[in-house]
Structure 1
């Protein structure tokens, strides 16, 4: 870091009166974007589109979600080749970023963090392929159908912005002219959702007064839902949604320290909680561990420096990743027709996390009863290694973990006696360093995981998938005092999500990969922990590739303005960028 630069900047800041209460207007574009893989190619039009919900979110903090009924469009009834959810939102004025979610009968299908609208008229659109939720969509349009709900907790107590939201479903029929297979922009679910499930049960709150999600306050808090599944279920996948808030909003930057105190007034990158930058989402059935994932470190648009994420959203912010566990090996515990408890937890958590899950079930149409049993259960607790050296406010800490779990179980159905094996391997390390009396901070984090799924009939392979995730994170930040008790921060950040998958089964075969990378840097002036002035620049690149298709988009921004935006479907372009 260049200390003379900060001294000069400090002198310049003396010209500010230090009394600003809200962010100034951004002079850049009003449209916020998420440059990920489109849900459909240009020129591919849906057979029909239905506006399901339209709502104005003003003072909705603490209110129940908005709800709407849905009727299957007569001009394009089921079956559908693809269904895409579109959430279009505009803001009337400046506002903070807010958490939002969409449910169907309590089953979550989208979670997002809104951008920070820095001017009246800011708008954005989120598209998500929701074909895998076909069972929920059919339930909506049935005689005893349920409702689609959306929650966006907003407040006009300090800022005037009101959010106007439209939720639309786009239905495609016939052959979908797209080489890409699967039902998501991220390919890792291909091996799990080659065909949509027949039933989907929500693992969530029964009462929707404060949303359908569970609120987890610490690692010993494991909320449960009681379910009884059909006796002819032959496959099950648990999909977990999670987002981190309050003391754990910046879990990925937390140092490990037995006693740790906040050392800079208004420095929102430090907290009084200091148990290290490691978390694990996991699930249980009747208290038995059935798998887990280290969550991707989603940076919300109001976090670190809001000027970084205008107008390009941080990775995963507009469609917060969900985490899949194939729990088919555990069907033997569930096929007795009795109620069983499915629990959700966050290891090492502090307050608070919002979690829910969907249980996807595939039903045998021929057999009334399916037999199943667990044959292999190896689930040692992840080994966590912690080391810290602190000298007052300066020092460093390391947290690393690794582990392998393996489950196998057989299912006897009309498809034969099939054995499903799940193997999950994870490696994680985070290092946090503090210098200059705590005013300079460096965070290095790397997370790698590999999940292998195999299905066999005897010695014959019936299907195989191999999924690899790599998520490096690098952060450097330095702060100096500013007038009127403020803090000036300069930050550099590199963030990446890479997913690679190989699938070989009856429905599909091949390899695909996604690399989503962002490099950002800039500055912000904080008062009371809130930004009142700032700037930022970003280099964002998104690449998708499989055996037949390539998609790349590169977007560079500066001071809220898009300076470069290029898209290509050329595989050679993917190799060159």
Structure 2
């Protein structure tokens, strides 16, 4: 039975919150200048509520010139000790001109990840600088207490690799007010990693695990897991790899190209997180990403897995292992994950159990196909295909202070990849076409009535055309064209009525051709160009649209607000136009 006034109260909150203020949202980073060769992106900044924030500095102008960590101490803001409507991380990075690789960048507090991304590669004449932001409102429980944190950007500096990275970071706390109500954030924030300050875990094979055994309070009502899985080393270009049986024939990395994060609780499959094909700024051809990097390359978005069907099991007072593995890992992935727990505020103990789990019987084993043909002269042509489709249903109940709540998560998750090869005496061409997707619906019922339903669609299209040609003088041209996107649609319904929906679409297209002389030295490059467009819309009228073009390493075109009402970007302060996760889409939560 639905508690009296439950639906009416929830709907009233949604409606009233929708009437609150909006924020003009600017693109992340400095104002763009046509002709500039500094980093420029179309991604939006995190929208802010009204009011003056309290600022806590984590570190300022720290140098990263070795592989040591950079520790810092954190204390909550004394001037904003009450409830917060929003918490935002801001960080600024730069690297001096010279030769340097792209580097992985992470920020931590008490073992929990606050930021995960990579750095921009410099050039001999360009010292890039860039700005990143992350909405940490759902991590407010962590930020209530003082703790130790660290920044990690492992960087080699010597006579050859001369680029020194610098960085600063701060947290902004926005006090709750009549115009910006307090966030209903999780009651607990727990890192899966074992490092008490924070670091990633290396997963070399599909059997390697990032895991933590936790004994949670006995009143867990909902739970989520924020997942980061970053490809490294031999797995950096996993999207180009082929099954071992074909690796030598097509001169590519083995291990196949299916990757997927698998979540488990006490060894029982509990959820799936797709892996995004991030391309870092040194990837494939560094000129592809100057001055605009690939999708999310500087600022990864975590994927949030709903573990709420397991709330009853997690509340039994016993220790439980929550673990993460990467199917297909082939040396290696860097992983981190954060467990977010909501507790029943009116019961010290709840109970429940899992009643259905079809994921337990579905191994992540893709179907492989091939039309490769090898001619008598050694020429190779044809396709290799990899595909996996699964339908998952997980359901469990928890007896709470407001009745029995049943949480049901259904998910259609898929991976579809085609690698086309043309290999002969003068040409090596590989065309990679890949699409990863996930359609998830999370439903909560009190008795027989559906009280809340959240649906999310994620899609990661990726295309790489690499065409290497041997010229008559012994030189080699290598032309690369990359198309990648991040698409997300989210919708929440309360008692059958739509409360909120939002769409995010981020696209980057880049092209360049490298020329190597007969000795294998880089001689020149040509055709360097890219374009990015970022679109966000929601059911409350929020709109953000920004697009840009670049050529020869410089910004050539920049348009923002076009297509939005009044040609101005404007979204509600509680929106997530960057695609970052939110455990509740309810306006003003």
Decide: shared fold, TM above 0.5: yes
What does 1:176-575 align with in structure 2 at a 5 Å threshold? 195-206=184-195, 212-261=199-248, 271=252, 273-379=253-359, 380-382=362-364, 384-390=366-372, 391=374, 393-437=380-424, 439-481=428-470, 487-505=476-494, 509-525=499-515, 533-535=524-526, 536-547=528-539, 548-568=541-561, 570-571=563-564
Q: CA deviation at 1:381?
A: 2.5
Residue equivalent to 1:91: 95
Distance in 2 separating the partners of 1:534 and 1:177: 53
3-state DSSP class of the match of 2:84?
Answer: coil
On the 8 A contact 1:257/1:397 being kept in 2, the answer is no
Distance in 2 separating the partners of 1:261 and 1:207: 43
Superposed CA offset, 1:530-573 (max 9, x none) = 97753521111100001211110011111111111111074367
Specify every segment of 5 or more residues in structure 2 that has no aligned partner in the other structure, as ranges. 1-33, 569-589
Distance in 1 separating the partners of 2:473 and 2:76: 58
Distance in 2 separating the partners of 1:469 and 1:147: 34
On the 8 A contact 2:315/2:351 being kept in 1, the answer is yes
On the 8 A contact 2:66/2:157 being kept in 1, the answer is no
Superposed CA offset, 1:269-303 (max 9, x none) = x64x3232211111111111101122111111110
Change (3 A) 1:125 1:409: same
Q: CA deviation at 1:77?
A: 2.5
Change (3 A) 1:39 1:363: same
3-state DSSP class of the match of 1:260?
Answer: helix
Residue equivalent to 1:14: none
Distance in 2 separating the partners of 1:513 and 1:567: 17
Distance in 2 separating the partners of 1:480 and 1:445: 24
On the 8 A contact 2:316/2:351 being kept in 1, the answer is no
Residue equivalent to 2:108: 103
Q: CA deviation at 1:427?
A: 2.4
3-state DSSP class of the match of 1:133?
Answer: helix
On the 8 A contact 1:424/1:449 being kept in 2, the answer is yes
On the 8 A contact 1:257/1:388 being kept in 2, the answer is no
2:136 counterpart of 1:147: no
3-state DSSP class of the match of 2:79?
Answer: coil
Distance in 1 separating the partners of 2:516 and 2:51: 46
Residue equivalent to 1:8: none
Residue equivalent to 1:60: 66
Distance in 2 separating the partners of 1:227 and 1:331: 13
3-state DSSP class of the match of 2:92?
Answer: strand
Distance in 2 separating the partners of 1:108 and 1:534: 38
The CA RMSD over aligned residues, in Å, is 2.9
Residue equivalent to 2:43: 36
Q: CA deviation at 1:501?
A: 0.9
Change (3 A) 1:498 1:532: farther
Q: CA deviation at 1:112?
A: 0.3
Change (3 A) 1:114 1:483: farther
3-state DSSP class of the match of 1:261?
Answer: helix
Change (3 A) 1:529 1:520: farther
Distance in 1 separating the partners of 2:178 and 2:468: 52
Superposed CA offset, 1:51-81 (max 9, x none) = 21135344322x2x21211222233323121
3-state DSSP class of the match of 2:143?
Answer: helix
On the 8 A contact 2:64/2:155 being kept in 1, the answer is yes
Change (3 A) 1:335 1:529: farther
On the 8 A contact 2:220/2:314 being kept in 1, the answer is no
3-state DSSP class of the match of 1:318?
Answer: coil
